[in-house]
Amino acid sequence: MEKPPFSRFVISFSIVAVLTLASFASCIAAEFNRTKKKDLKLNGRFCFLPESDAFKLGVGGLVCLIMAQIIGNTTIYHSYWPKEHRKSCSVKTPLLSITLLISWASFGIAVVMMSGATSMSRRQEYGKGWVEGECYVVKDGIFVGAALLALINGGSTIGSAAIGRRTSHVKGPNQVHAQIG
């Protein structure tokens, strides 16, 4: 299997890096723009929270994170596993497996955190709230935690690609040599 051209590698993972940084920046901005307890309005037992800019920023961060994960893992898959070996699950490099596991674990946790916090940042009407008519406010640091997980995800995805690129071997055509002598 030949290594993919270096320019394609650089372009693909530059896109992953930019999307990861965009997701990080969106989450940090969402942290500063989320609704606060002082925005909560009570009317008897009913509550109201206005929509915050954190909703739009959270959706943007989530979209960037998902796109980075899809592009990065698709490129890794198609570049480093030859078609004839794609049915088997054996990976010859444990470090590659570990970085991919870190990538997927941080991705899953970040998506859950960002989705929940983004959903809570929507407008919550009197008596309708987020869950069972109650209003919920996003706690301090949730978007920051998701931003850090997005960075871990992007770094481990790019690290997986670098490990895979380093360990993939160039193989020449199969040759049979006759014994001389």
Of 98 and 24, more confident: 24
Tens of pLDDT, residue by residue over 131-151, are: 666 667 778 899 999 999 999
Higher pLDDT, residue 92 or 108:
108
CA dist 114 and 123 (Å) reads 17
Task: Express as a percent the part of the chain with pLDDT over 70.
Answer: 72
Question: What phi, psi does 140 have (nearest 5°)?
Answer: -60, 135
Amino acid at 177: H
3-state secondary structure of 67: helix
- Cα separations (Å) of 53 from 79, 89, 110? 39, 43, 19
Rounded distance between C-alpha atoms, residue 60 and residue 79, angstroms: 28
Regarding pTM above 0.85, the answer is: no
Q: Which stretch of 37-41, 55-59, 147-151, 155-159 has the lowest confidence by average pLDDT?
A: 37-41
**pLDDT, tens only, 42-100:** 777 777 778 888 889 999 999 999 999 998 888 877 766 655 555 555 556 667 778 77
